[in-house]
Each structure stands twice: as C-alpha cells, then as structure tokens.
Amino acid sequence: MHDVIVVGAGPSGLNAAKILTKEGLDVLVLEKNRWVGEHVICAGIVGEEVFSKFQISGESVLKTIREIKIISPQSSVIRYEHPDPFAYVVDRERFDRSIALNAGTINIPIRCNSRVQDITVEKDGVQVETGVNGRRDKKYRARVVLIATGVNYNLHKKLGLGYPRDFLHGVQAELDLGPMECTHVFLGKSIATGAFAWLVPLGGGTVRIGLITESDPGGCFHRLMAQHFPSRLKSLDRSRMEFKPIAQGLISRTFGDRVLTLGEAAGQVKTTTGGGIYFGLLCSELASQVLLKGFHRGDFSKSFLAEYERSWKRALQKEIRFGYYTRKICARLSDNQIEKIFKFIQSDGIIPIVKEKGNFDWHSDLLLLLLKRIPFFQVFIHRSRGNVGHEN
C-alpha cells in the first residue's frame, strides 16, 4: 500500500507529490498521457513569483514579457510596458517536467499511460483502478488519494465531490504569423464574448494565438483571424486548433474521506484570465500541509480533511469571486462601450495605477481600483449588484 496516490501529472499534482515525497511518504503519480506535459492546451504565461515561491527552475522559459498591446474592437491600441519583467512564456512540457526533475535526490515514481477509471474509498484506504476504453487492467492501493485531473470531473461525481457548473470555452493554435516581439490582447464581443483573445510570440515567427469566450470558440477564432490577420485566414489549418473548457467560479466539496482535489479539478482557476498554474501550485502546498498533519495523526476523515478547503478558500475566494463578478460585468459591455473605456484609459492616468498596483497573479485589488476610477462602471455596477452568481 502506498501512502498517497496522485491522479494527474500536471503542475499541482507534481508539486504535491514532490513535497510529500521529500517528507518521506511513499507517493505514486498516475498520468493518463504517454509522458508528462503531453498535449497541454495552455497559453503558457506565468508570473515571476511562480519560479521564486515554488522553487521551479527557469529552464522552460521561452520569452520574457514586459510590453503588451491591448487592441480594442475598432483597433485602438493601448501600449502597456511594465517597469520590470512581470511574466514569462514557458514551454509547458518542460515546465511540468522540471517540477518533478527538480526534486533534488528525491525520485517521484510516475506511471504514464495510466488512465484512472475508478476510485473506491475503503475503511483503511483507497483502491485506484486504471485501464483504457473502460477496461480495468491494474489496481493500486493507498491511504489517501489526490485528484489533479484538470478539467476531467468523471471521478468527482462517483465520489460525491463538487465540480464547476460554469465554464468558458478556450481555443488555441500555434501558427507562423511572422516576426512579432510583443504580446497582444484583443477585445470585442464578436471575437471573444465575455472574455478576450491573445497572441504570444514564441520566437522565429511562431506565435500562440487563442481566446476564451462564452460560446462558439471556433467561430470566434475564425473572426479573430479574419479581423486581424486576414492574409493568413485561407491557410489556417483547423486541425491545429485545440479546444478546452475553462472552469469558472468558486466550488465546494473539494475533499472527502481519504480524498482531496487540486488545481483545475478543484476549480482553483483565475476567473479573470482562465489561468490555473499559480493557484494550483499554491493549493498543492496547502493540501500537502493538511495531509502531513493527517499522517501524523492517522486521520484522513472528511471532517479532518475539511481544513484543506477552509485554508485554500481563505487564500483564494476573494480572487475567484471578485474576478468572476468583474468578468460578468465586462461581458455585458458592447463594443462601443469598450471603445469609450479605451479613450478614458488613454487620457486619464490609468496606466500609472496599473504599473504601481499590478500583480500578475493577484488581480482583485487592482480591479477594484479600476472599477472605482472609471466613471462608466458606477451605474453598471449598481445595476449588476445582486444579479451575478458566483458560487457553485
């Protein structure tokens, strides 16, 4: 019997495995894909704090981000340049693998091609069954299981765990659009209803271009290309477009008897940008702390593991709720209203506030300042208050 089985070898699962293994526990990671980091759909932008706070090597960094061009529906441009590098573009496969490889002399057993089909909670442990196409081929046992399966919630339903009810829809492709140095953000209801689109240069003319939207991601992507890169539209290979749902909103029941959920599997996602790496890593540390106490006491009951949900919500519920609320407000803006906000920002000294208060991983304080500063939002906030749900 293992001490801990981690289901999913993404950043949050691997970081928890690294922490627990370093503390002397017998940990096994089960990963459905053929290798760690295979087929990850992600813009791959992380803040500097990810590397310093979680002691992750910078070997996966492809580009440094200091300047961003924000482009309105009518192609007005706001250029923002941060005083220091505030984010980095990473190779997600190398980034994920570096978490496990940088565990020093500790070896974390990772079994790839191991899709978990079922988890059964027993009196003295959990049984985890793997297989393909519904067929079970192997069984593993552990005292406790950590579920870090991203946006796959099949196991949650069987175990009575909570899962998101609200999702945005993401689409991304890596394309050759010629030399570009600056990260772009595109706004407009026609190309990203309720959210935004992005272009991230990777070097050599290759870019990651994608968007998150409330509906019709394929159609939105086509309109994004038609509006901003019409000469490349005919050569667009739709098979290179990758799609992904993105969890939105605060959820409960991220724990059960001998079970915890992590990262996207627990809805620990920035509701402003859809990013989940930083929140997932932070919560992997909180989960590890609770589990280490559980092993010390010999207690993995639901009542004891509830401390995990209390701790991560103390850290993140303000960010998740306020980000969700703000995004819902912005989703109601027309393209003309967005254009008016652009003109206000260009003329009213908003940029210095962003430079002073902006933090890549923590958004709520800056968002509150901006909502208060931009007069247009005051009536809008008043009308919206009480009508925006944020809890699942």
What domains, with CATH codes, occur in the chain? 2-66+89-164+249-322 (3.50.50.60), 167-246 (3.30.9.10), 330-384 (no CATH)
DSSP state letters, 142-185: EEEEEE--TT--HHHHHHT----SEEEEEEEEEEE-----SEEE
What pLDDT score does 104 carry? 62
Cβ proximity of 41 and 172 under 8 Å: yes
Q: Which of 250, 177, 173 is nearest to 217 (CA)?
A: 173
> Can you give the pLDDT at residue 389?
42
Strand partners, 197: 186, 211
Taking CA atoms, 51 is separated from 103, 200, 205, 327, in Å, by 14, 20, 27, 28
Question: Residue 37: which pLDDT band, with cuts at 50, 70 and 90?
Answer: confident
Q: What is the pTM of this model?
A: 0.91
Three-state secondary-structure class, residue 11: helix
pLDDT band at 387 (very low <50, low <70, confident <90, very high): very low
Q: How many CB atoms lie within 10 A of CB 95?
A: 26
Q: 391 phi and psi, to 5 degrees?
A: -125, 135
Better-scored residue on pLDDT, 379 or 90: 90
| Residues 6+ away with beta carbon under 8 Å from 318 | 364
pLDDT at residue 78 in the model: 92
Q: What is the pLDDT of residue 329?
A: 84
CA–CA dist 323, 275 (Å, integer): 12
**Residues 66-89: tens digit of each pLDDT:** 899 999 999 999 998 888 888 999
Distance (Å, whole) CA 42 – CA 220: 18
pLDDT tens-digit map of 8-26: 999 999 999 999 999 999 9
In tens, the pLDDT along 315-334 reads 999 999 999 988 888 888 88
Q: Give the pLDDT mean for 53-66.
A: 92
